[in-house]
Structure 1
Amino acid sequence: MKIIKKEFGRLHDESVMEYTLVNDAGMSVSCLNYGCIITKIMVPDKKGKIENVVLGFENLEDYIDLSPYFGSAVGRVAGRINKAEFELDGEVYQLTPNEGPNHLHGGKQGFHNVIWKTETIENENEAGIKFFYRSKDGEEGYPGNLDTTILYLLNNQNELTISYEAVTDKKTIVNLTNHSYFNLSGNIKRDCSEHILQLESDRFLELGSDLIPTGRLVDVTNTPFDFRHGRLLMSGMKSDYPQNVLAGNGYDHPLTFTKKGENTVVLSEKESGRTLMVTTDQPCVVLYTSNQLEGPFSISGVRARNYLGVCLETQGLPDAINQPDFPSIVLIPEDVYRAQTKYRFFSNTIGV
């Protein structure tokens, strides 16, 4: 296990560093102290060829100017908050609106858009980066000074663990996630329409026209949202089911896990032989099939277009602060916010 460190760019006279965690099996994970962005995850296919399986840019300027949250930490609150406001103990807090009238992914100066302090971890069996950031009272409209720690830890079993912790000095709201776009074909050779997703979820959150949850949980049975036995992502992209059409012909929906506790999501691509197993203690995963990715820019030399990646955002339910029936995302000074998600990569050997 080792860590390679190099300067990736400069922002406000500060160095933005890229750290590459390398295990003994040849897998590596590269990340920045800017936004905790995961720039590359290099893993082998069924023939042993090591390629990148996440979307990212080659330079800092593109991350600042163009990135739709590629690989970044998202906070203080992932997802959309209706009308960019919420009420806590009788006080109404107005957040920064950055998607029409709504607040998305922590606002303009969210966790994805700041330089974090770092500490490296390196031993025989693990290599990791610990990120630290203080979000000051009033930042983007949120109450309380929030001290957040995020740990990326790679081991020799090709498993990347992301652990989150946060404490506050005033009652506030917290819901953190990572926004990596996965593409298991490797180096974006194909889009993600042929990826197969499987998870134990019997309900998904219905979205309104502004992609804010209506509060209604819909049974997945006989819909393109039933992934209990595995299905191609293409089935939702090509569906005329109203919720798929609403999201831009695909998925941008929270899927709630059937059981409480640890849950597993499995993403696979047959041609490459790669499989990603995501295990989380969070109550839902937001499935986004990059339906709005098309634009006048390139991603590692590939022209941006829809469906190039799939996001599996493990988190609390979006807009939970405005939905009394959703699990609470309120954090009080006496408590510690904790969340953890593991990403383990496998590949079928040649001939299988």
Structure 2
Amino acid sequence: MTALACACALPAVAGEARTAPFGTLPDGRAVEEVTLSNGGLTARVLTWGALLRTLDVPDRAGTPADVVLGYADLAGYLKAPNYFGVSVGRYANRIRDGRFRLDGKDYALARNDGPNALHGGREGFDKRLWTIAGVEQGAAPSVTLRYVSPDGEEGYPGTLTASVTYALDAAGTLTVDYRATTDKPTIVNLTNHSFFNLAGEGSGRTILDHVLTIPAERYTPVDATLIPTGEIAPVAGTPFDFRKPEPIGARIRDGRDPQIPRGRGYDHNFVLTNAPTADAHLVARVEDPASGRVMEVASNQPGVQFYAGNFLDATAVGKSGLSYRQSDALALEPQVFPDTPNQPAFGTARLDPGATYRNLITYRFSAAAR
């Protein structure tokens, strides 16, 4: 993947992975935290929700800051999860009316977002305790987490065996690799829901001055409930054109486009390819001009949901003691398109026995020179 601007390499350090207790669930089950360090980065991953709790990244002066939203303790994630850093599934994003049909049979899902199903339901993968399948040291220290979702959980057919591997390499890249298999036909769409602020989650600065590039010529407009209308529309001439670098705040309040008020800003899927690809491709690039931190996101998925933190309402108090407010962070979620099971023109989210689902996501960090 080629950087879109001059960048300074992050310092190389020896990689390490270590595991420690993080807390206990109300039913007595233990939650663990795995810390990965390499390439100047430090990531902390919880078995609860297979979530990314912290990610320390140096700025252009080499000073690290935690760039993802989250809580200091387990209680925060149980009280007001807000999808901070979690692995979402079985189906990330929204499904219209919480219903879909597969092989002539109708399936009803929990409606947890107005009339729609969102991020796998009331107790999706983000609210499950995953198990540690392996921790690896070496050139790219990693942790692999596993969750088995039984047939019928949250209304989805088939027993789904899901895994995610978080790995840090010496070049400053965090890889998040989702895989899944099933014992009967089902639908699946897994992704990571980290909220990023490259100035630092405790900086008190919003992401409105972050400069964003999304190399997508089309996006999927939504209705009043944030379900795609079925149209695949060009971004040209709209506030959704990020083919060239643009500050996020430049057009986020452009109410002349009806899609902006519907999402309270940006909460839309951008179309990168027509189907998943064999290799990862660039889906977005974000730069914080003040700190110099740059993040390039790549994935093999056809779409990326760009969410500008529009529904953060200051009720969640984060790791640094600050209340998270609107536009304090952004999420970039590589995935198949929202509501794909009900919209054949969007492709397919189907997974059959004998096949392996994969969403390979990389977050490459660097520091741009002034």
TM over 0.5: yes
**Residues 269-348 of structure 1: matches in 2 within 5 Å?**
269-300=288-319, 301-348=321-368
**Residues 1-352 of structure 1: matches in 2 within 5 Å?**
1-11=15-25, 12-23=27-38, 25-189=39-203, 190-240=205-255, 241-248=257-264, 250-257=265-272, 261=277, 262-264=280-282, 265-300=284-319, 301-349=321-369, 352=370
Instruction: Tell me the CA shift for residue 246 of structure 1.
Output: 1.0
User: Any idea what the Cα deviations from partners look like across 1:59-100, whole Å, max 9, x if unmatched?
Assistant: 111111112100000000000111101111111001111112
Structure 2 residue ranges without an equivalent (≥5): 1-14
CA contact (8 A) 1:236 1:251 kept: no
User: Any idea what the Cα deviations from partners look like across 1:121-148, whole Å, max 9, x if unmatched?
Assistant: 3333111110111100000000000001
Instruction: Tell me the CA shift for residue 173 of structure 1.
Output: 0.2
Instruction: Tell me the CA shift for residue 236 of structure 1.
Output: 3.2
Q: What secondary structure does 2:111 align onto?
A: coil
TM-score (ref. length: structure 2): 0.92
Q: What secondary structure does 1:325 align onto?
A: helix
Instruction: Tell me the CA shift for residue 220 of structure 1.
Output: 0.5
- Which residue pairs with 2:8 in the alignment? none
CA contact (8 A) 1:289 1:309 kept: yes
RMSD: 1.3
Q: What secondary structure does 1:237 align onto?
A: coil
Indicate how the Cα distance of structure 1 residues 226 and 76 shifts in structure 2: closer, same or farther if over 3 A, else same.
Answer: same
Looking at structure 2, the residues matched to 198 and 256 of structure 1 have their Cα atoms a distance apart, in angstroms, of 13
CA contact (8 A) 2:274 2:347 kept: no
Looking at structure 2, the residues matched to 326 and 118 of structure 1 have their Cα atoms a distance apart, in angstroms, of 34
Percent pairwise identity: 38
TM-score (ref. length: structure 1): 0.96
CA contact (8 A) 1:188 1:308 kept: no
Instruction: Tell me the CA shift for residue 201 of structure 1.
Output: 0.4
